[in-house]
Structure 1
Amino acid sequence: MQTLEIAKFWIQSWLSPRRLLQRKYEAFKVLLEYDSQALELVADLEELFYGRRLLDRSHAVCMYRQLSLAVAGMVGELEKMHPGKFKNLYDEYLRINEQAARSVESAEVTSEPPFTIPLAAAGDFPHLSGGKAANLGRVHALGYTEALPGFVVTANAFHAFVEHNNLRSKIESRLCRMEVGNISVLSAMSLELQELFLSGEVPPGVVADIEIGLSTYLDGAELLAVRSSALAEDSEISFAGQYASELNVNRSDVLEAYKRVLAGKYCPRAISYRISNGLTDNDTTMAALIVPMIDARSSGVIYSMDPDCMSRDSVGIYGVSGLGASLVDGSVVPVKGSLSRGKNPRLVSECAFDRSALPDEKMLIRLAKCALNLEEQFGCPQDMEWAVDSEGQFHILQTRPLQQGKEKETVHGLIAAMPIVEGLERAAGGAGCGEIYFASTGAEISRIPEGAIVVTPTLKPSLLSFAAKMNGVIASAGSRASHFSSVAREMGIPVLVGEVSAHLEQGQLVTVDGMAGAIYAGCVKDVLTRSSLDVHISPRILELYSKMVEPLVHLNLVDPQGDNFNPAGCRSFHDLVRYCHEMSVQEMFSLVDKRGLGMRCSKRLQTELPLVVYLIDLDRGFESAAGRKKEISPADISSVPMHAFWKGLTDERITWPEDMVHMDWEEFDRMSAGFLSKDSKILASYGIISEDYLHLLIRFGYHFSEIDSLCGDVSTQNYVKFRFKGGGAGFDNRILRLEFISRVLIHYGFETETRGDMLDAFSSRMDHDSTAKQLAVLGYLMAVTRMMDMRLNSSDDVARELEAFISAVEGVYV
């Protein structure tokens, strides 16, 4: 097939060159469409890979597929432009595409049993049980009788649910559209995903195993809790408050509660949090923990390492009466007790607290010892949820690594400024500067501006979706024990608790000091550890995409003149895009040679300039009425780039000699000894035009100029490629003229390269008007420099001519 295409190409080049020009042009235009698509995708992927945009990894896979198709399209169209010339290019595309496909592969998942495992064994199977259940399983294995009984519905059961309900493609199609910060899309897509799970059916095999688990491990429990236990939950990334837990569930409602827990995986704040931490959808596969419901007299959390009222490390116990839901959702201010760290913890006498909301001293000491023992066993400070039931029994509900965030990185020295407010409770350390923004309602929260200091009544979980925008948070109620505070510490966002509304105004510029519990007017440099423009990028994001960078977006072909600028030198899709674009422009740049091949159907351009110019229209380059004319005038031309160039070339300030026809004098002398007609196409200038395309070879005596340009509405496709060569004066004079031309073109945004007496210049990816202005300047430049080599003798002459040229051009073409 390729041999046939090559044969057709060469036959057309001799027998039907006009059709060959049309074919090249059509392929070129399609290639440029693919080029625009590819470069947009490369830019989007770079923003994703380097943490400038926070998108789901599925989005990267979707963009890879689109990029692969665009690059394959470019390769195919380049081959059409010159069959056989780029014969190895498609093989290089296949090689790079195979590497790219491997880089975006997801880890395999299984939907096979086991669908449930006992909670006591969960610590040995974290890939099945998820973080929360695995940690409780380890507590069981360590011999703690306070750990709740129960069982886990595994991550495999989640995948079985997805397969049974044919949800895989539906999930991916929605994740492909999600971006952190795009609240409307995020909310709409997450709602659709949750509805898919809520309307789905639990697979029969999973149902059977859940029923067995209920009868085996929870036979006497009347009310149950069905809790989330995603794979990445409660690890070094807490996922505090991101997922749903179902409380007070009747045994007959367990399956519906289980589906609600699965659906909770796709709530907007959980998706935003996951993406912001560089985790994939499969990284957070949802398992569920089913345990008995505790009739709690008091409950809360313990931080095994927490500052006390004197800012010393202690065991901090936060508690409320009854269930601890109001504590962790930030809606109430809990009671805090502080105990010393060590083998025999004791109450810190300086820190008074309301004993009515906390257990007695004996129980507090027992809780503190338990937290310290778990810290030793787990190897890091612990954040432990606890409950004391109506009979006075202590239960461990959950334990996870304590998120201490970036507080240790802050160096707190003497502050010269006086605070507006001080003595506030410190829920998350660090510091930030920004303008005050009051956010009391959901609508106000959704409009939080970038870099704001948010003042809010409580530390609501809804704030989590907008955490990346905040430089600080001040809440009237809440505590370190809230889920938002836990996430804020991971992200380095300072959070203070206390009533401050009377001291602050909307738009006021302040600094929040999360270490000292103070607020200052203005941006206090001594306090700040991060500016309002800084964005914390999780290292996991860079790691997540590290393998994709090289085959997809890394650019190795930086120099078209380099030894590696060939198909074999391409190492990425970006390289292929660069190579195909460069080669396609070169193919168009060489459309017409000195023989004028393909110009037999051209029309002579009537002009007052002493030039013989023939033009051929590829697509709407002429006005419709010009089709019947043998010769055309400039008024018959509708080509945008030709109009722009011709405007400069015919500037009324230019004087043209009436007795001299500018043609290829060298060829005229060589071939005819003066007997050929000066109107001969062999000696003339040539142009190929369309509505937005121009290829023009102008012969000015003993030198020529060649212009190839696309000037349309798509700025990423626009370019101007220019070549100037030769001259009638001595070599030194010709070089001085090239120096002048080069300096002019550089001044107006071109890149130039000079070799001998030839200059090449290139400009690309500018908007329609800017490209047209460059073409007009180029036309004026060609007119001005016709005989310039005859009068240039030094660099001083070049500088003088340059100043005069720029003065003449400014205000007319620029």
Structure 2
Amino acid sequence: MLGQLFRHWTYQLFAPGALLRERYDSFRRLLEDDKRCLELITALEEIRYGQVQADWAKLESLLRALTWSVGSLARHLVAMNPGQYMDLEPSLRDLLARLEPLARLPTPYAGPPYVLPLEQVVGARDQAGGKAWHLGRVLVDVGLPVPQGFVVTTSAFFAFLEHNDLAPRLDELLSRVRLDEPERLDALCAEMQDMVLGGALPPAVEQALSEAVAGLTAGGAAPRLAVRSSAVGEDASEIACGGDDSGVSFAGQYESELGVVPADVRQAWLRVLASKYAPRAVAYRVRYGLADREAPMAVLVLAMVQSKSSGVVYSLDPVAEGRRERIGIYAVPGLGERLVGGSSVPDMFYLSRTDNPVLLKSVAQRRVQEGVPGRSTAVLDLPSIKTLADWAMVLERIFGCPQDVEWCQDDEGEMYVIQSRPLQAASAFGERAQPQADEGGRAQAADFAESAEEFAEGLAKGHAVLFRGGLMAAGGVALGRVHLLRDDEPLRSVPGGTVLVCGTLSPDLVSLLGRVKAVVAERGSRASHFASVAREFGLPVLVGAVGARTMLRPGQAVTVDAESRVIYEGSVEGLREAAQSRAPRRSSPMARRLEAIMPLVSPLALTDPQSPRFTPRFCSSLHDIVRFCHEKGVAEMFSLVDRGGRGLARAKRLRTGVPMDFYVLDLHGGTRAKASGKAEIGPSDLASRPMLALWQGLTHQDVVWAKGLKHLDWEAFDQVSAGVGVLGSKELASYAVLSDDYLHAMVRFGYHFAVVDALCCEREDANYVAFRFKGGGADFEHRLLRLAFIAEVLQRAGFVSTSRSDLLDARYSRQDEQKCLQRLTLLGIILGQTRLMDMAMTGQTQVEAMVEEFWKRYGTDMNAL
């Protein structure tokens, strides 16, 4: 600061012209920084209020750019007048010191252990990830059978990123992610996955992984392995267990590798890591407001079970008929991937939620038993069914909330738990009438005389039923137009706001969350990954809707009532309210951080530049700093040159027919090339658009300049020479400092003094016309009448003005270039026609009449000026 002050004072004394140019250059850079700051604040606000869904890396990038730009903005203002803004830097430094810890995420741990046996993960949840931690508890705390295995920890993931210097490169790509640009998301994710797949394992991680695989497969005990994702946050939906967090499950978002031979575990681990950056996984994480490092990838390695059957069991079936609570078991032959992937129709078994569960209902698919033609067999026998039901209730008690349990059964009939996670469930009745309970907690049966179907049909009376059937996978009601998805059609081509009708449910449909209103699938399972995620988001989904693609037409307006399993023609207004009762907006880590960060970024407390509080001391946000710097930057330009004209030594005389001494100093592009080298220039040499507009007003045909009378600053002449001085002196003349789109003019004639400062460029947000007028010569009362005339005309032209005694300040800002140029021409006419106006004014009534006449002539059609 001392260096800046010394340099500034030196230039002020010995090179005022250079100082003037430096101030102008600083001002232009200040305007660029101002624009950039406002754009960055807007981008942050769009994310905060949900208008744009972006990764946390984007937030970090925006905040870094904003803090740098605000610092640059402040530096340019200080450079314009170093001694005036000594307290700006401390205020900014204080704001940034408060902001920085709020925007900083903890540094991840990348040290050992890199591998943990399954028996040791219970106390290391952040190291093991959600899936492995739950399975470890099933083994240790409950004692149920699980396959042998180990987990490659999250610190191994961070060590891998650090070893390959991937974190900053991934963050740069993630900062460019926008969920409303699916094609770009695909390309960015492909690049990120390639980075991971091309990475080298840190030696310590590779050694730990090799030793763990060797121990698991010793003696040929596990010739094939399952390599499964276990990211932090995966299967960890605390909200499903009654918590108030932003519960996420990541169901089906990451890859699992089955049947992996021991020699390929290393590459399988890399492929699972890379699946963290698949488009659907990135989109899912971004929607839940998690930063990339908040969902690090651990990988669970299990010995494969030769499955005779497999499936899922819900301790509380999420799609129970009516309001009856029950256990739901879904089973398929062989591996369960066909079930959770949505491609296989399972056997279904429903049991009571009691200490000794009772089978209530079973729906077995007809499957021909191998070697016995013409016969069918169920996937599970009754003892196995009851065992699964018992396990489900035990796990619900242990984990404290309903569970979604994956299981398998080997050829010997032994059963294993391979996953248990909190259940993402939605009420079958959604937000419709809820049961009222009496003092004993019993629902009033009379309140539910109607079934859900009867209730819906009553509201939809008069609307044709286009389709009835299928199964509700996720409840809710949605209105939209049909889009029939071809089997080979890319998901990115699906229009927003539609009802998607497709062949089967795929986990990839997650990428359409937030874009489609409902999904209707001809095949699939209520136990699929996509159905689970759809319930989290409150997206209505029908499955098993055979024939829907034939019965519904593209573009047809429909109402989907997933709870009643009916699709109506048109928009059912009676169900519109239910359609809007989506899952409540949940808090998220990003949302909570933004709630702390944004009060230091976007609120604007400095609204009145005339207030005594308009100082750096009262800047409570970065937006306040931006506002202060812009306003003061313009004010500094308004006082660009002192009244004595210091810095104009190299100005050129403007030779015109107007009896006025006028000097012009070109900063950059303000005069044409032909004016170079001339001591005097004419109006035809001017290139500055603001100057030409003002000059057009000063020389308007209606402005009459008295011949033979030199118009200069007579008040200054009286003061400096007692009436005997050189009339051509620059100290008495008018002047303009200009560039191609900037003008600073001090216009002096008689006892009047006016300053015009204007920027007229393509950037509407930067444009302004500032005007100051002080008129003398007449008595004070007449001077005030003239000031009232000017103020009223400018107000009609859109200026905001303030008056103090006989001094008027007015400003017109943030308008397009053409409008600003028109106002400059209007100012020129006002200056030319009001020179002697005060002499003829008699009162306020006359002022009002003159304003009307003037505005009628010049203001009603400023395009004609």
Q: What TM-score results when the alignment is normalised by the length of structure 2?
A: 0.87
Q: How does 1:196-345 map to 2 (within 5 A)?
A: 196-217=195-216, 219=218, 220-236=221-237, 237-305=248-316, 306-310=318-322, 312-345=324-357
Secondary structure of the structure 2 residue equivalent to 1:420:
strand
Q: Which residue of 2 aligns with 1:167?
A: 166
Q: Which residue of 1 aligns with 2:513?
A: 467
Deviation at 1:385, TM superposition (A): 1.4
Q: Which residue of 2 aligns with 1:614?
A: 663
Deviation at 1:662, TM superposition (A): 4.8
Deviation at 1:445, TM superposition (A): 1.7
Q: 1:379 aligns with which of 396, 400, 405?
A: 400
Query: What is the alpha-carbon distance in structure 1 between the residues aligned to residue 272 and residue 801 of structure 2?
Result: 63
Query: What is the alpha-carbon distance in structure 2 between the residues aligned to residue 810 and residue 13 of structure 1?
Result: 45
Q: How does 1:396-475 map to 2 (within 5 A)?
A: 396-404=417-425, 410-411=431-432, 414-417=458-461, 418=463, 419-441=465-487, 443-475=489-521
- When residues 385 and 679 of structure 1 are mapped into structure 2, their CA distance, relative to the original with a 3 A threshold, is same
Letter in 2 for 1:83: P
**Unpaired stretches in structure 1, ≥5 consecutive residues:** none
Contact 2:789/2:850 (8 A) holds in 1: no
Deviation at 1:159, TM superposition (A): 1.3
Secondary structure of the structure 1 residue equivalent to 2:355:
coil
- When residues 222 and 733 of structure 1 are mapped into structure 2, their CA distance, relative to the original with a 3 A threshold, is farther
Secondary structure of the structure 2 residue equivalent to 1:395:
strand
Q: Which residue of 2 aligns with 1:502?
A: 550
Letter in 2 for 1:283: E
Contact 1:150/1:218 (8 A) holds in 2: no
Secondary structure of the structure 1 residue equivalent to 2:635:
helix
- When residues 612 and 354 of structure 1 are mapped into structure 2, their CA distance, relative to the original with a 3 A threshold, is same
1:708 aligns with 2:757: yes
1:598 aligns with 2:684: no
1:798 aligns with 2:815: no
Deviation at 1:665, TM superposition (A): 4.2
1:478 aligns with 2:527: no
Secondary structure of the structure 1 residue equivalent to 2:228:
strand
1:524 aligns with 2:572: yes
Q: Deviations over 1:267-308 (max 9, x none)?
A: 111111111111011111000111121222222222222333
Deviation at 1:800, TM superposition (A): 7.4
Q: What TM-score results when the alignment is normalised by the length of structure 1?
A: 0.92
Q: Which residue of 2 aligns with 1:578?
A: 627
Letter in 1 for 2:343: S
Deviates more, 1:803-812 or 1:699-708: 803-812
Contact 2:217/2:262 (8 A) holds in 1: no
Deviation at 1:769, TM superposition (A): 3.4
- When residues 500 and 776 of structure 1 are mapped into structure 2, their CA distance, relative to the original with a 3 A threshold, is farther
Query: What is the alpha-carbon distance in structure 2 between the residues aligned to residue 434 and residue 700 of structure 1?
Result: 70
Secondary structure of the structure 1 residue equivalent to 2:350:
strand
CA RMSD of aligned residues (A): 3.1
Query: What is the alpha-carbon distance in structure 2 between the residues aligned to residue 763 and residue 796 of structure 1?
Result: 26
Secondary structure of the structure 2 residue equivalent to 1:94:
helix
Deviates more, 1:156-165 or 1:510-519: 510-519
Q: Which residue of 2 aligns with 1:188?
A: 187
Secondary structure of the structure 2 residue equivalent to 1:18:
helix
Contact 1:777/1:813 (8 A) holds in 2: no
- When residues 758 and 491 of structure 1 are mapped into structure 2, their CA distance, relative to the original with a 3 A threshold, is farther
- When residues 409 and 311 of structure 1 are mapped into structure 2, their CA distance, relative to the original with a 3 A threshold, is closer
Deviation at 1:172, TM superposition (A): 2.5
1:361 aligns with 2:378: no
Query: What is the alpha-carbon distance in structure 1 between the residues aligned to residue 776 and residue 632 of structure 2?
Result: 28
Query: What is the alpha-carbon distance in structure 1 between the residues aligned to residue 582 and residue 50 of structure 2?
Result: 12
Deviation at 1:225, TM superposition (A): 0.4
Query: What is the alpha-carbon distance in structure 1 between the residues aligned to residue 741 and residue 111 of structure 2?
Result: 59
Deviation at 1:441, TM superposition (A): 4.8
Contact 2:474/2:540 (8 A) holds in 1: yes
Instruction: Give the % identical residues.
Output: 39
Q: How many residues are paired up?
A: 812
Deviation at 1:588, TM superposition (A): 0.9
- When residues 737 and 256 of structure 1 are mapped into structure 2, their CA distance, relative to the original with a 3 A threshold, is same
- When residues 310 and 352 of structure 1 are mapped into structure 2, their CA distance, relative to the original with a 3 A threshold, is farther
Deviates more, 1:376-385 or 1:424-433: 424-433
Q: Which residue of 1 aligns with 2:437?
A: none
Q: How does 1:387-786 map to 2 (within 5 A)?
A: 387-404=408-425, 410-411=431-432, 414-417=458-461, 418=463, 419-441=465-487, 443-497=489-543, 498=545, 499-529=547-577, 538-540=586-588, 541-654=590-703, 662-668=711-717, 675-676=724-725, 679-699=728-748, 701-726=750-775, 738=787, 741-742=790-791, 744-783=793-832, 786=835
Query: What is the alpha-carbon distance in structure 2 between the residues aligned to residue 225 and residue 346 of structure 1?
Result: 34
- When residues 187 and 170 of structure 1 are mapped into structure 2, their CA distance, relative to the original with a 3 A threshold, is same
Query: What is the alpha-carbon distance in structure 2 between the residues aligned to residue 638 and residue 653 of structure 1?
Result: 24
- When residues 182 and 745 of structure 1 are mapped into structure 2, their CA distance, relative to the original with a 3 A threshold, is farther
Secondary structure of the structure 1 residue equivalent to 2:111:
coil
Query: What is the alpha-carbon distance in structure 2 between the residues aligned to residue 578 and residue 721 of structure 1?
Result: 17
Secondary structure of the structure 2 residue equivalent to 1:594:
coil
Deviation at 1:533, TM superposition (A): 14
Secondary structure of the structure 1 residue equivalent to 2:60:
helix
Query: What is the alpha-carbon distance in structure 2 between the residues aligned to residue 806 and residue 516 of structure 1?
Result: 68
Query: What is the alpha-carbon distance in structure 2 between the residues aligned to residue 672 and residue 263 of structure 1?
Result: 83
Contact 1:736/1:795 (8 A) holds in 2: no
Q: Which residue of 1 aligns with 2:450?
A: none
Contact 2:54/2:178 (8 A) holds in 1: yes
Query: What is the alpha-carbon distance in structure 1 between the residues aligned to residue 672 and residue 468 of structure 2?
Result: 76
- When residues 684 and 394 of structure 1 are mapped into structure 2, their CA distance, relative to the original with a 3 A threshold, is same
- When residues 489 and 793 of structure 1 are mapped into structure 2, their CA distance, relative to the original with a 3 A threshold, is farther
Contact 1:451/1:532 (8 A) holds in 2: no
Letter in 2 for 1:452: T
Query: What is the alpha-carbon distance in structure 2 between the residues aligned to residue 435 and residue 74 of structure 1?
Result: 49
- When residues 424 and 256 of structure 1 are mapped into structure 2, their CA distance, relative to the original with a 3 A threshold, is same
Secondary structure of the structure 2 residue equivalent to 1:231:
coil
Secondary structure of the structure 1 residue equivalent to 2:204:
helix
Deviates more, 1:442-451 or 1:655-664: 655-664
**Unpaired stretches in structure 2, ≥5 consecutive residues:** 238-247, 367-376, 434-454
Q: Which residue of 2 aligns with 1:15?
A: 14
Deviation at 1:150, TM superposition (A): 1.5
Contact 1:340/1:346 (8 A) holds in 2: yes
Q: How does 1:75-90 map to 2 (within 5 A)?
A: 75-90=74-89
Q: Which residue of 1 aligns with 2:58?
A: 59
Deviation at 1:44, TM superposition (A): 1.7
Query: What is the alpha-carbon distance in structure 1 between the residues aligned to residue 823 and residue 579 of structure 2?
Result: 41
Letter in 2 for 1:113: P
Contact 2:499/2:520 (8 A) holds in 1: yes
Query: What is the alpha-carbon distance in structure 1 between the residues aligned to residue 846 and residue 406 of structure 2?
Result: 82
Secondary structure of the structure 1 residue equivalent to 2:514:
helix
Query: What is the alpha-carbon distance in structure 2 between the residues aligned to residue 533 and residue 608 of structure 1?
Result: 74
Query: What is the alpha-carbon distance in structure 2 between the residues aligned to residue 811 and residue 532 of structure 1?
Result: 49
